[in-house]
A and B are shown apart, each in its own frame.
Chain A
Amino acid sequence: MDEQTRPQARISVHRGAEACKFLAVLMLPIAAALFLRLAPEGAKRFYPRCFLNVATGLYCPGCGTLRALTALGELDFRTAFLYNPFLFLIVGPLAAYMCAIFLKRAITGRWAPSILSSYKAALPTAIVVIVIFVIRNLFHV
């Protein structure tokens, strides 16, 4: 739709809350990577394995997230990518997009729609997650 004919959203939002969401999405992965970087060397031994993987041998869509974050903390981007490529191909860009939306809401003080706030987003998300589940286990990525 033409931007000029589309009325601005009238619902006002709590700027502080939106700013907190923005900071949370932005800082949590960085804080986690830093924390894992500063953890003692032997801590890697105690990393839990994915329960689904232990029980069934299958890789879930989130498998490898902890170790990918550890590799990110060591600035080893290649290893981080190989642990869970979908984290970088899908979740990362999505998190950046949500950051932009939260920042926009915090600055304007008005509610702005995101693709995830639409009911329409659920079906594509379900399909993407199931496809990732299948691809991971078929091709061992």
Chain B
Amino acid sequence: MEHCSNCGAELKPDANFCSDCGAARVNIAPAAEVVESAGAVRSAPVPPPRKIENHLIKSIIATLCCCMPFGVVGIVYAAKVDALLRQGDYAAAEEAGQKAGLWSNLSIGVGLVVNVLTAVLTFLTFYNQMKEGVLP
């Protein structure tokens, strides 16, 4: 049984990437399997060109800290990365990963702006009320 060169997890025989850490398999298939009888060379499955980032941790932080529902969308896209990698659709997996990053960035950006604006507006409201003597 082969092991992932990145994290040491056990690799499934037909997997092109590690199901634990997502690193591409270094030796996709033993040479003997690639060269078939009669000398015909079978093309080996193509591994993902690089590690596909699913931005899961960033999406979790965005969901918790930014009060925006976009972080949840990021987590859902991160989940799609796993399903698409299992199907071997690396292009779609990469796209889903990018969307996960985009939604979590959107959540962090909009969350920061909205929360800071809310705090400033609340402060200004109280400040004006204090100046007018409404509040002690």
Q: Which residue in B60, B64, B81, B85 is a CB contact (below 8 Å) of A65?
A: B64
B122 within 8 Å of A (CB atoms): yes
Q: How far is the CA of A69 from the CA of B75 in the complex (A)?
A: 24
A25 to B42, CA, bound (A): 49
CB neighbours of B69 from chain A (8 A):
52, 60
Q: Are B122 and A45 in contact (CB under 8 A)?
A: yes
Write the residues of chain B forming the contact surface with A, with a CB cutoff of 8 angstroms. Answer: 3, 5-10, 19-22, 54, 56-57, 60, 63-69, 72, 75-76, 78-79, 81-83, 85, 111, 114-116, 118-119, 122-123, 126
Q: Are the C-beta atoms of B67 and A113 separated by less than 8 Å?
A: no
CB distance from B69 to the nearest CB of A (A): 6
Q: Say yes or no for A126: interface residue by CB 8 A criterion.
A: yes
Separation in Å of the B18 CB from the closest CB of chain A?
9
Q: Which residues of A contact B10 (CB under 8 A)?
A: 1, 6
Which residues in A have their C-beta under 8 angstroms from that of B60? 116, 125, 129
Q: Which of B8, B68, B114 touches A9 (beta carbons < 8 Å)?
A: B8
A125 in contact with B78 (CB, 8 Å): yes
**Interface status of A4 (Cβ within 8 A of chain B):** no
Mark each residue of chain A from 99 to 120: 1 if its CB lies under 8 Å from any CB of chain B, else 0.
Answer: 0000000000001110011111
Query: In terms of DSSP, what is the predominant structure of the interface of chain B?
Result: helix
Residues in A lying within 8 Å of B, measured CB to CB: 1, 6-11, 45-54, 60-63, 65, 87, 91, 111-113, 116-123, 125-126, 129-130, 133
Q: Which residues of A contact B54 (CB under 8 A)?
A: 119, 122
CA distance A62 to B72 in the complex (A): 11
Residues of B within 8 A of A122 (CB): 54, 56, 75, 78-79, 81-82
B79 to A125, Cβ gap below 8 A? yes
B112 to chain A, nearest CB (A): 11
Q: Name which residue of chain B comes closest to A56, CB basis.
A: B69
B4 smallest CB distance to A (angstroms): 8
A51 near B67 (CB under 8 angstroms)? yes
Q: Tell me whether A123 and B82 are in contact in the complex, defined as CB-CB below 8 angstroms, given that A6-B8, A7-B3 are known contacts.
A: yes
Q: Point out the residues of chain B lying under 8 angstroms from A113, CB to CB.
A: 7-9, 20-21
> A52-B69, A111-B6, A130-B72 are contacts. A119–B22 as well, Cβ < 8 Å?
yes
**Smallest CB separation, A116 vs chain B (Å):** 6
